[in-house]
Structure 1
Amino acid sequence: MKTATESLQQAGFEEILEDRELTVSPADYSLLTDLYQLTMAACYVGEGLDDRPASFELFARRLPDGFGYAIAMGLAQAIDYLEKLRFSEAQIQALQSTGIFAGAPERFWTLLATARFTGDVWAVPEGTAVFANQPLLRIEAPLWQAQLVETYLLNTINYQTLIATRAARVRDVAGPEAKLLEFGTRRAFGPQAAVWAARAALAAGFDGTSNVLAALKLGRKPVGTIAHALVMAVSALEGSEDEAFAAFHRCFPGAPLLIDTYDTVAAARTLASRVNSGEMPLQGVRLDSGDLVKLSREVRSILPGVPIIASGDLDEYEIARLKTAGACIDGYGLGTKLVSGSPVNGVYKLVEIDGIPVMKEASGKLTYPGKKQIFRTMKDGEILGDCLGLTAENIHTSDYHLSLMQLVLKDGKRLQKPESLEDIAKRTAASVASLPAQTRQLNNPISPPMEISTDLQSLIEKTRKSY
C-alpha cells in the first residue's frame, strides 16, 4: 500500500513536500487556511449558494481567566491579508493533485483562479478595550469568500489581541514612566508569531523590542543588552568580568550591561568606580536573576544614576509584587509570560445569510443572530457599560454613546490609511484609562455590564422560533 507521501509524489507534489523552510509570504496567504474552509466553499458552489450575501462576526465568548478586558489587535494584518488574497495556478494545481477535490464542480476552480476579496469589513479599531461576546470584526461578503478567510483572521486577531492585552496590563501596573521591552522571540509560538507579538506589544504601549526583524519592519531601533555567554566567554579567555564589560563597550560605548553572571553587587561596585571617575558612560544595567528587590536596592545605592532593568520570567503580577516590595527598578524586559499564556479563544460565526438571521444554540456555545454594533456609554472619561444591539438601531440617547465598530473595507477596498503604532498605543492607553478600577485590577477583575438591546433580544426569540 502506498503512503500518503508516495501518492502525493506520484501526483507531482514533490516541490511542496521539499519546502522545509515553511516560511510564509503574502503569496501563501490563500493556502494558509484549514481544509474545511476550501471544502465548504466547494460545497457552496455545488449548491449554487456561493454568491449569497453572508455576514460572519469574530468574537470571544469569554476572556482568559483573570482578564477583565481585552485590547483588540491584529486588524492591520487582517486587512493586508484580505487585500492580497489570491490563488496562483501552481497553488490550484497543488490542490487538485491531492485528489481531495475530485468531486468539486469546475466552477470552484474558476472562482479560485479569479479570487479577490470583494466584501465589506466592519471592525473595532486596534487598541480599543472590548469584552466577552462583543464582535471585534464583521465580514460581509459572498458566502464562499466570507467562509474562506476565517482561519487567517482568527489566527492574527486572537494572538495579537492576547499579546496586546497582556502588554496593556503590564503597562498599567508598571506605570507610564517605566521602560518596557519585549524580549519574547525565543518563546513565541513560531517566527511569524514572534513578529506579531513584537508588533502587538509596541502597539499596546511597550517602548521597544529585541526582535531585529520586527523592529526594522516597524520603523524602530531594536533594543537589548548582552547575554551571560559573552561575559563567561571573555572572562574565561581574557581574565575577568570587568574585561568582558570593557570589551563590549569598546564596540558599543555606554551600552547597558548584564551584571548578574557571577556576583551582582561586586559587578556593580566595579562599574561604579569607572562610572564615578568618568572613565565609563553607562546607559543601564540589567538584573536577570536572584532576589530582584534586594539586589535592585543594593545596585541603586552603588550606581544611583544608572537605570536598572529587570528581566527573568516577569509578568504583570510579579511587577506589581516588586513595586509593592519597594524594588528600585526603572524598566522591565518581558518574554515568556508576555508572548504565551491562555489564548483569547475568539470564534468566527455566521450571523446572517441572504438577509436571514441565524444563530447557534449548542450548550455553552450560544451565538446571537444578525449584524451587530457595540454601543458604549461613557461619562467623565470612564466606561459605564455597553449595549450589544443591531446595526440598524439608534441607541444614541446622549453624547456619551459611542458606536465602536467602523467600516474599514468597502467592496474589498481600504477606506483609511494604515495607522501608526504610536497612534494605536495612544488609543490603548486611553482605553485602559477609561476602564473602571474593578476592571483593571489584577485579582478577580469585573468587566463593565453589557446589556442586550430590546431589538436584538426580540430577534433572538424570533430566530429561535423559526428553528
Structure 2
Amino acid sequence: MPYPTLLATPDSYGLLTDLYQLTMVSCYAGEGLADRRASFELFTRRLPPSYGYLIAMGLAQAIDYLNNLRFSERHLEALRQTGLFDHAPDEFWQRLAEGGFTGDVWAVPEGTAVFANEPLLRVEAPLWQAQIAETYLLNTLNYQTLVATRAARLRDVAGPTATLLEFGTRRAFSPQGALWAARAAMAAGLDGTSNVLAAVQLGHRPAGTMAHALVMVFTALEDSEDKAFAAFQRYFPGAALLIDTYDTVAAAKRLAAAGTPVAAVRLDSGDLVALSKAVRSHLPTTKILASGDLDEYEIARLQRAGATIDGYGLGTKLVTGEPVNGVYKLVDIDGIPVMKEASGKTTLPGRKQIFRRYAGGQAVGDRLGLLEDTAAPDETPLLQLVVKQGQAIQELESLEAIAARTAASVASLPANLRQLEHPATYGVALSDALVDLAARTRQHPPAQP
C-alpha cells in the first residue's frame, strides 16, 4: 500500500473543509434553505499581543480556491463511504454534484493595514457555498496575514535598505504553509526566499547561502575550512559564505589575507554585535548577513547596540509568529441582518464597509459602517468587489505591487501605532447606521417555540 501524499491540490478543494460545514449544508438542503443568499465576513476580534495593526494577505489563494471549488464523483463516493451521510437528503448530493462557486466576494486589497473587527473579506453567495468555503478561507487568510504582518514589522524596523530573506521553510507548519509563507513574506516587503519551489512559482530567483555541513565536510576530509570557502566561491561567485562554524573572527582574518573579494558573509550564532564589528574590521566592503531565530525585537536590539549588519535571514519567528485568530461569521441571510450575542464573542450585523480617513497622507481613523453608507470627502472605502457571480473581476497583482502597497500602508500609520512595545490603539468608530442596526437586531431575538 503506497504512503499517502496528503497534498492539497485544486482538484481536492471540495473535500478540504471541516466536517461540520458539510453536515450543516446537508441540513440546509433538507430544509429548503441551501440557496438562500448569505453574507459571511472574515475578521479578527482582537489583534495579537503588542501588535498595533495587521497586514491583510491571502486573497489571491482565496480566489483560486473559490474558482476551483468542485465536488467530483470521486469526492461524492468518498463521502458516501464514510457512512456519516446515510440520512442526508437528495438535495444535498445534488448541490455538491452541481458544484461551483457562483457568489460575490468583497475584500480589502492585499497589503492593506487592518484592525480588530474590520472585515478582511466578505462572501455573498448561496448559503451552502458560503458555508463550505469557511475552512479554507480562514486557513489561507489567517496564516498569510500572520506572516505578512510579521514581515511588515521586520521591514519597518530593519529599514528600506536592509536585505531581508525568508528562510522559514523548515519551520513552517507544512510544505503548503511554507509556500504561502514565502509568498506572504515577499508580498509584505522581504527581498527573497530560500524556498526554491516558491521562488520559481512566483517568478523570482531563490536566495540563500550555504550551511555548516559544507564547511564540516571539507574540514573533515581536506583538513581545511578555507577549501570549503574556495570551492563555494568557485561555483557560486558572489554568494555569501557562512563563517561561524568554528572561529568566526579567525575565518574573517584568513579571508581578508587571501585577498580574494568576498561579496558577503553570514553569521548564524554567537554575539552578533561583537562578531559583526570584528568581521567588519577585517572585511570592510563585505556585506554581513545575520540569521538564527531573529525577529523584529532582536533586530531592534542589534541596531541599538551598534551591530554592523546589512541584512537578515528570517525563519522560525517569521513563519510561526503570533496567531491571527480570524473568524468567519454570518452577518446577513436573505437580506435579514443577524448577529451573534454570546458573551465576549458578540458580532455586528449587516454587510459592512471600512471607511479610512486620511489627513496629510496619514491614516487618522477608521469608520466601520454599512455597505450602503456614503464615504465622507476625506474617507476612502477599503473593501472592493473582487469576485462577481463566481468570476474574478480584477487582474492578479504582482508581489511587487502588493509589497509597495504594504510599505505605503505601514508608512501611513502613526508612529506610536508602529512601535514594538505598547503600541497605541487605532481609532475605529462605528457609523450611526451600524449602531442603529445592531440595536434593532438585538431587539428582535429569534422566536422560541
TM-score normalised by the shorter chain: which range applies?
over 0.9
Counterpart secondary structure, 2:443: helix
What is residue 333 of structure 1 aligned with on the other side?
313
Q: 1:187 aligns with which of 148, 171, 178?
A: 171
Q: TM-score, with normalisation over the residues of structure 2?
A: 0.98
Contact 1:383–1:448 (Cα < 8 Å) also in 2 = no
What is residue 345 of structure 1 aligned with on the other side?
325
Aligned counterparts of 2:272 and 2:261: Cα–Cα separation in 1: 24
What is residue 166 of structure 1 aligned with on the other side?
150
What is residue 250 of structure 1 aligned with on the other side?
234
Q: 2:215 aligns with which of 214, 226, 231?
A: 231
Q: Which blocks of at least 5 consecutive residues in structure 1 are unaligned?
A: 1-14
Q: 1:138 aligns with which of 110, 122, 136?
A: 122
Question: What code does the residue aligned with 2:37 have?
Answer: P
Q: Which residues of 2 match residues 81-92 of structure 1 at below 5 A? A: 81-92=65-76
Question: What code does the residue aligned with 2:67 have?
Answer: E
Q: Does 1:397 align with 2:376?
A: yes
Contact 1:309–1:330 (Cα < 8 Å) also in 2 = yes
Aligned counterparts of 1:381 and 1:254: Cα–Cα separation in 2: 40
What is residue 373 of structure 1 aligned with on the other side?
353
Residue by residue, what CA displacement relative to the aligned partner does 1:279-308 show, whole Å, maximum 9, x if unpaired?
x33220000000000000111111000000
Q: Does 1:364 align with 2:347?
A: no
What is residue 21 of structure 2 aligned with on the other side?
37
What is residue 59 of structure 2 aligned with on the other side?
75
State the number of aligned residues. 445
Aligned counterparts of 1:365 and 1:110: Cα–Cα separation in 2: 35
Q: 2:364 aligns with which of 384, 391, 409?
A: 384
Aligned counterparts of 2:53 and 2:126: Cα–Cα separation in 1: 32
Superposed displacement of residue 107, structure 1: 1.8
What is residue 159 of structure 2 aligned with on the other side?
175
Contact 2:262–2:286 (Cα < 8 Å) also in 1 = yes
Counterpart secondary structure, 2:83: coil
Q: 2:419 aligns with which of 425, 441, 445?
A: 441
What is residue 180 of structure 2 aligned with on the other side?
196
Q: Does 1:27 align with 2:11?
A: yes
Counterpart secondary structure, 2:40: strand
What is residue 437 of structure 2 aligned with on the other side?
459
Question: What code does the residue aligned with 1:215 have?
Answer: A
Counterpart secondary structure, 1:94: helix
Aligned counterparts of 1:229 and 1:328: Cα–Cα separation in 2: 26
Q: TM-score, with normalisation over the residues of structure 1?
A: 0.94
Residue by residue, what CA displacement relative to the aligned partner does 1:376-399 show, whole Å, maximum 9, x if unpaired?
0001111110000000011x222x
Counterpart secondary structure, 2:14: helix
Superposed displacement of residue 113, structure 1: 1.1
Q: Does 1:125 align with 2:105?
A: no
Aligned counterparts of 1:27 and 1:458: Cα–Cα separation in 2: 44
Of 105-114 and 427-436, the range deviating more from structure 2: 105-114
Aligned counterparts of 2:306 and 2:235: Cα–Cα separation in 1: 35
Q: Does 1:431 align with 2:409?
A: yes
Contact 1:378–1:401 (Cα < 8 Å) also in 2 = yes
Aligned counterparts of 1:110 and 1:450: Cα–Cα separation in 2: 43
Contact 2:147–2:321 (Cα < 8 Å) also in 1 = no
Superposed displacement of residue 342, structure 1: 2.5
Superposed displacement of residue 253, structure 1: 2.3
Of 234-243 and 425-434, the range deviating more from structure 2: 234-243
What is residue 414 of structure 1 aligned with on the other side?
392
Counterpart secondary structure, 1:466: coil
Q: 1:210 aligns with which of 175, 187, 194?
A: 194
Residue by residue, what CA displacement relative to the aligned partner does 1:220-244 show, whole Å, maximum 9, x if unpaired?
1111111111101111101111011
Q: CA RMSD in A?
A: 0.9
What is residue 10 of structure 1 aligned with on the other side?
none
Question: What code does the residue aligned with 1:147 have?
Answer: Q
Percent identity (aligned): 68
Counterpart secondary structure, 1:122: strand
Q: Does 1:59 align with 2:39?
A: no
Contact 1:258–1:287 (Cα < 8 Å) also in 2 = yes
Superposed displacement of residue 248, structure 1: 1.6
Superposed displacement of residue 19, structure 1: 5.2
Q: Does 1:50 align with 2:66?
A: no
Aligned counterparts of 1:309 and 1:425: Cα–Cα separation in 2: 22
